[in-house]
């Protein structure tokens, strides 16, 4: 069947099978940042925005997304760039495989709640698994970013 949807601001038309998952569709469209880590919707690696809500792209049929807006990390580079440097400054990106899903969901968190507590950050990101970093460095990075923003978000000191 043919579907049409908006992907990172561009209209995309493609032939899909009725059971094509949005995750696989997005990777076929070249959005290689979207990763698969499990089959049971537990890991969060495949997080994308569907009409600006963070969702698991493994849990959405591409057919369901037809007519809707999808955003992946490829389409959020400048918004991501502002904050991911703070994660890099912690070394908390590690293997990087969980990064795109984590970055997407953090952007979603901060859009909904620009000034979260540590507990709120952890709770919102609880669906993003990471096996390398132990989570603590990611929290430090987000906190450093938020502190920087509070101070006016000017010069990035190294």
Partner 1 sequence: MLSIGQYVRAQSLEEAYTLCQKKSSVVLGGILWLKMQNRTVGTAIDLCDLGLEGIEETEEEFRIGAMTSLRALETHPGLNAYTGGAMARCLGSIVGVQFRNLATIGGSLYGRFGFSDPLTLLMALGAKVELYHRGVLELEEFAALPFERDILVRVILPKTTKGAVYLSQRNTATDFPVLTFAAARRPEGLVCALGARPGKARLFRDEEGILAGGITPESAETFGRWLADQAALGHDLRAGEEYRRRICRVLARRGLLELAKEE
Partner 2 sequence: MENKTFKTVGKPLRKKDAMGLLLGKPAYVDDVTPRDCLVVKVLRSPHAHALIEEIDTSVAMKVPGMVAVYTYRDVPQKRFTMAGQTAPEPSPYDRLILDQRVRFVGDAVAVLAGENEAAVNKALKLVKVRYQVLEPVLDIHTAKDNPILVHPEENWRSLCPVGADNHRNLCASEVSGDGDVEAVLASCDEVVERTYHTKACQQAMMETFRTYTEMDPYGRLHVVSSTQIVFHVRRILANALDIPRSRIHVEKPRIGGGFGAKQTVVAEVYPALVTWKTGRPAKMIYTRQECQIAGSPRHEMEVRVRLGAMRDGSIRALDVYTLSNTGAYGEHGPTTVGLSGHKSIPLYTGGLEAYRFGYDVVYTNVQAAGAYRGYGATQGIFAVESAVNELAARLGMDPVELRKKNMVREGQAMPAYYGEVAGACALDRCMDRCAEIFGWKEKFPVRELGGGKVRTAGVAMAMQGSGISGVDVGSATVKLSDDGFYNLTIGAADMGTGCDTILAQMVAECMDCGLEDVAVFGADTDASPYDSGSYASSTTYVTGKAVEKACGELKEKICALAADMLGCGPEQVEFAGRTVRRLDGKGQVSLAQIADRSMCGNETALQATCSHSSPISPPPFMVGMAEIELDRETGSVKLLDYAAVVDCGTPINPNLARVQTEGGLVQGIGMALSENVTYTPEGRILEDSFMQYKIPTRLDMGKLRVEFESSYEQTGPFGAKSIGEIVINTPAPALAHAIYRATGVWHRELPITPEKILLGMDGQE
Give Rg (Cα) of the chain: 16
| Tokens of residue 10, six digits | 């561009």
List 4, 28, 32, 42, residue binding partner 1 (CB under 8 A): 42
List 36, 64, 140, 149, residue binding partner 1 (CB under 8 A)? 64
Contact mark string toward partner 2, 99..128, x via CB under 8 A: xx--x------------------xx-xxxx
**Rounded to whole angstroms, what are the CA distances from 26 to 22, 68, 132?**
6, 14, 26
Q: Does 54 bind partner 1 (CB under 8 A)?
A: yes
Q: Does 32 bind partner 2 (CB under 8 A)?
A: yes
The distance of closest approach from Cβ of residue 55 to partner 2 in the complex, given in angstroms and rounded to an integer, is 17
For the chain, counts of helices (H) and of strands (E): 6, 5
CA–chain centroid gap for 129, Å, is 12
* Binder among 50, 98, 107, 142 for partner 2 (CB under 8 A): 98
**Whole-angstrom distance, CA of residue 75 vs CA of residue 120:** 26
Q: Can you list the alpha helix ranges (DSSP code H) found in 1-156?
A: 22-28, 62-65, 77-88, 99-112, 118-124, 136-150
Residues at the contact surface with partner 1, assessed by CB under 8 A: 1, 17-19, 21, 39-42, 44, 47, 50, 53-56, 58-61, 63-64, 105, 108, 123-128
Residues that bind partner 2 (CB under 8 A): 17, 27-28, 32-33, 35, 37-40, 42-43, 45, 72-74, 77, 80-81, 84-85, 87-100, 103, 122-123, 125-139
């Amino acid at each position: 069947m043919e579907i049409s949807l908006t992907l990172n601001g561009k209209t995309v038309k493609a032939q899909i099978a009725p059971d094509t998952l949005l995750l696989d569709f997005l990777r076929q469209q070249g959005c290689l940042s979207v990763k698969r880590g499990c089959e049971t919707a537990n890991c969060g690696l495949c997080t994308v925005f569907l009409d600006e809500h963070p969702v698991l792209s493994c849990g959405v049929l591409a057919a369901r997304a037809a007519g809707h807006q999808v955003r992946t990390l490829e389409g959020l580079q400048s918004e991501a760039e502002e904050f991911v440097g703070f994660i890099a400054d912690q070394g908390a990106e590690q293997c990087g495989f969980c990064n795109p899903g984590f970055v997407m969901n953090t952007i979603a968190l901060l859009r909904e709640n620009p000034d979260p507590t540590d507990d709120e950050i952890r709770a919102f990101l609880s669906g993003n698994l990471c096996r390398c970093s132990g989570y603590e460095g990611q929290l430090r990075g987000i906190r450093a970013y938020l502190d920087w923003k509070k101070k006016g978000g000017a010069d990035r000191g190294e």
